[in-house]
Structure 1
Amino acid sequence: MTINYVVPARGVVGLPVAGTDALFPVRRVYCVGRNYAGHAREMGSDPDREPPFFFCKPGDDAAIVPAPASGVAELPYPPLTSNYHYECELVVAIGKGGRDIAVADAMDHVFGYAVGFDMTRRDLQGQMKDAGRPWEIGKAFDYSAPVGVIHRAEEVDGIERAAITLEVDGVVKQSSHITHLIWSIGETIANLSTLFELRPGDLIFSGTPEGVGAVKRGQTLVGKVEGLSPITVKIV
């Protein structure tokens, strides 16, 4: 049966999967706020282990930027900001859905992992925080979610202990380990599944370590998580 839409329908964003020509279809994008103690402190918050909180980015081709395993993806400098920040993160790709998932079962729902950037208009986010308003204009704008190649979970060894780094023009700005997550990958999945029914195709940005900062046009960002393909973007 042919479906006629009143305006052109946009397709699903597909992210490359290492070792295959198949793509991972993106559904929703969830992000965990302040999930590293060092980043919580640099943002002026108490890093004590309080319940995690979440925000979302669009899962469409306006926000998601698939980045190749080799080469450089271009990232347009967004409008209405003078304080454009990088946040390098481990991205968790969900392969099996569920609701109220137990922590002990959570890792069974993971399809794979990638490196991603939670790009942020920090000045606009700050204005929204001060006014007690949602963060969308600071977090959910166009080209705000570059994501690298996804590696299947069974092909990644020791992701819970992996190093995570970000370089700006060859200078290391963020350096930590996934062990420093306040809420582990499994705990994050379990908690998120009490708020939303997770489904295949969902992405979870697991949080960023300390060292976030502003970037300018012409600069190149390289994000790495040990065991995964790096992600490289240039701000244009």
Structure 2
Amino acid sequence: MRTFHVGGVASRSAAADSIEVKSSGVLRLHNIKTVQHASGNLIAVSSSGELTVADSLGRGRERYKVPYGATLTVQDNMPIQAGKTVATWDPHTRPVITEVAGILRFVEFVEGVSVKRETDDMTGLSSLVVLDPKQRPAAGKDLRPKVKLVGENGEDLNIAGSNRPAHYVLTAKTVVSLADGAQLGVGDVIARALGYQPQLIHPNWTPQLNCH
């Protein structure tokens, strides 16, 4: 089956996909959980995080929301110059990010029942797309496709610093472009849910003193 292509030219150009600061100062991260990718960049794995730019007196001059899955090219308390791009992301999808390195395993992936395979016309590469339960045959109504990360012996891996296994239940229309058994590192993208539009900037926000 052929793939659909997400969005048109107009919608893509209108959607924000990065944060470029307007002021020089010190960048500060707030309530952001991150993991470090092999590239050295930080990847946001929380959805309530923010970043601010403070001037030399500690006054907050700018504040932005940082969406889940954003790639941060800066560190907390780093001096930055006006015009620097400090975060980027795909505005049309919400990624599923690994928080631990391991082997990818599919759970309750049944082609034609809980997932369907689509092939990109331009690249020839295929992906699996999670079917909406309403579109599944009777045999797939109760299936809950998910991905998980396991160790070399097949044991479940926990997210670092927690007792929670690295299991990710996938919603309808989530696209998985990797193969079962793929070796993944921290901060890699496992899958992408379509139709995501993050809110970026706090409306009517005014500078604050001593922004920590």
Q: Is the structural similarity TM-score above 0.5?
A: no
TM-score by length of 2: 0.24
- Higher relative contact order (Cα pairs below 8 Å, separated by 6+ residues): 1
Higher helix share: 1
TM-score by length of 1: 0.22
